[in-house]
């Protein structure tokens, strides 16, 4: 690996790669985007041409065998995160994996064990955790008693063939937007001791609400949905103030690009042999909470 750059490949020509991660990789210090692979070769070729990516591999396995790559970004459907993360780590690549890291805690623990044994970094791409505004907000509340957190993330999901609406592909609102609400709540309050939840399901869960209780008396309410107007909200009720933030999970280029900050910090850790800036332990704890919410709602 070059001491001054991490060479990247992308497994999958997803929209999030096209709109967010490819621009971030190309703007980030210490990174160079080299290759892309996709199930649809024509889509991969078009994306490579659009962004000036050096080469296109015919399939995921071919990209992983590319010795000139140090790391991969994995934006595949949720049900594929475990398989291709394990294969990438086995191939000696660092992995930045889209959220949710896995479909459950057991999968996540297997992936974490593989990362440890391979000596490579594995990190969940919770880009909102890298936005300076969110980091400053959480830091400002560290010494203030918090009474209640309300976190919501929803948007309307029209009937389609999207993986978000297909159970076999790991669809559902809890995985897609609920993971953010769970994560920010844990970031602020730690791990809950009690979880209650209700869920409305069709082929996948379309809406879910959860109430959490924490040691010391703090409480939280979470809401995620595919059947609401587009809606993001974070409200923190403290002992002496109420702090609210609109669009806490998708602030982008305002002027900070959290995707670019995330890539730069991940690449710096990989090049130096350091630890991932968002620890795997945090991702596993988030999966544990998502498992508890799903179990409570059954």
**pLDDT tens column, 97-130:** 999 999 999 999 999 999 999 999 999 999 999 9
pLDDT at 298: 79
Q: Contact at 8 Å (CB) between 150 and 221?
A: yes
What is the domain partition of the chain in residue ranges? 6-126+255-275, 132-250
Q: Which residue out of 57, 81, 93, 99 is catalytically annotated?
A: 99
**pLDDT at residue 253 in the model:** 75
pTM of the model: 0.96
Q: In what order do the strands lie in the sheet with 6-11?
A: 55-57, 31-37, 6-11, 71-74, 94-97, 122-124
Q: What is the pLDDT of residue 188?
A: 98
Q: Is the dihedral of CA 193, 199, 203, 204 positive or negative?
A: negative
CATH class of 6-126+255-275: alpha beta
Confidence at residue 186, expressed as pLDDT on a 0 to 100 scale? 98
**Mean pLDDT of the 35-52 span:** 95
pLDDT (average), residues 24-45: 96
Count the Cβ atoms, other than its own, within 10 Å of residue 202. Answer: 13
**Which of 189, 180, 191, 157 is closest to 258 using CA atoms?**
180
Mean pLDDT score of the chain: 96
pLDDT at 208: 98
Is there a catalytic annotation at residue 99? yes
For position 2, what pLDDT does the model report? Answer: 52
The tens digit of pLDDT for each residue in 48-98 reads 999 999 999 999 999 999 999 999 999 999 999 999 999 999 999 999 999
Q: Are strands 205-213 and 219-225 parallel, antiparallel or unpaired?
A: antiparallel
Query: pLDDT tens across 203-262, in order?
Result: 999 999 999 999 999 999 999 999 999 999 999 999 999 999 999 999 877 888 999 999
CATH no. of 132-250 = 3.30.360.10
d(CA 118, CA 232): 38
pLDDT value, residue 255: 85
| Res 4: pLDDT | 85
């Amino acid at each position: 690996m070059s001491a001054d750059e991490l060479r990247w490949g992308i497994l999958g020509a997803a929209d999030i790669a096209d709109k967010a991660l490819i621009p971030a990789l190309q703007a980030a210090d210490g990174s160079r985007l080299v290759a892309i692979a996709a199930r649809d070769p024509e889509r991969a070729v078009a994306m490579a041409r659009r962004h000036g990516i050096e080469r296109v591999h015919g399939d995921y396995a071919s990209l992983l065998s590319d010795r000139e790559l140090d790391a991969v970004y994995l934006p595949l459907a949720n049900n594929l995160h475990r398989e291709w993360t394990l294969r990438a780590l086995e191939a000696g690549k660092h992995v930045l994996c889209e959220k949710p890291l896995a479909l459950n805690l057991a999968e996540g623990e297997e992936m974490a064990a593989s990362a440890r044994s391979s000596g490579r970094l594995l990190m969940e791409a919770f880009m909102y955790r890298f936005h300076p505004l969110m980091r400053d907000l959480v830091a400002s509340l560290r010494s203030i008693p918090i009474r209640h957190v309300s976190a919501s993330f929803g948007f309307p999901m029209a009937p389609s063939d999207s993986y978000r609406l297909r159970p076999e592909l790991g669809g559902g609102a809890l995985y897609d937007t609920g993971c953010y609400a769970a994560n920010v709540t844990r970031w602020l309050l730690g791990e809950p001791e009690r979880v209650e939840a209700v869920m409305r399901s069709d082929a996948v869960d379309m809406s879910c609400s959860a109430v959490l209780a924490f040691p010391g008396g703090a409480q939280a309410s979470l809401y995620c949905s595919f059947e609401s107007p587009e809606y993001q909200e974070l409200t923190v009720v403290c002992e002496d103030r109420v702090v609210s933030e609109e669009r806490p999970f998708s602030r982008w280029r305002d002027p900070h690009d959290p995707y670019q900050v995330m890539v730069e910090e991940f690449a710096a850790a990989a090049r130096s042999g350091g630890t991932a800036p968002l620890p795997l332990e945090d991702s596993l704890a988030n999966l544990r909470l998502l498992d508890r919410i799903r179990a409570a709602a059954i």
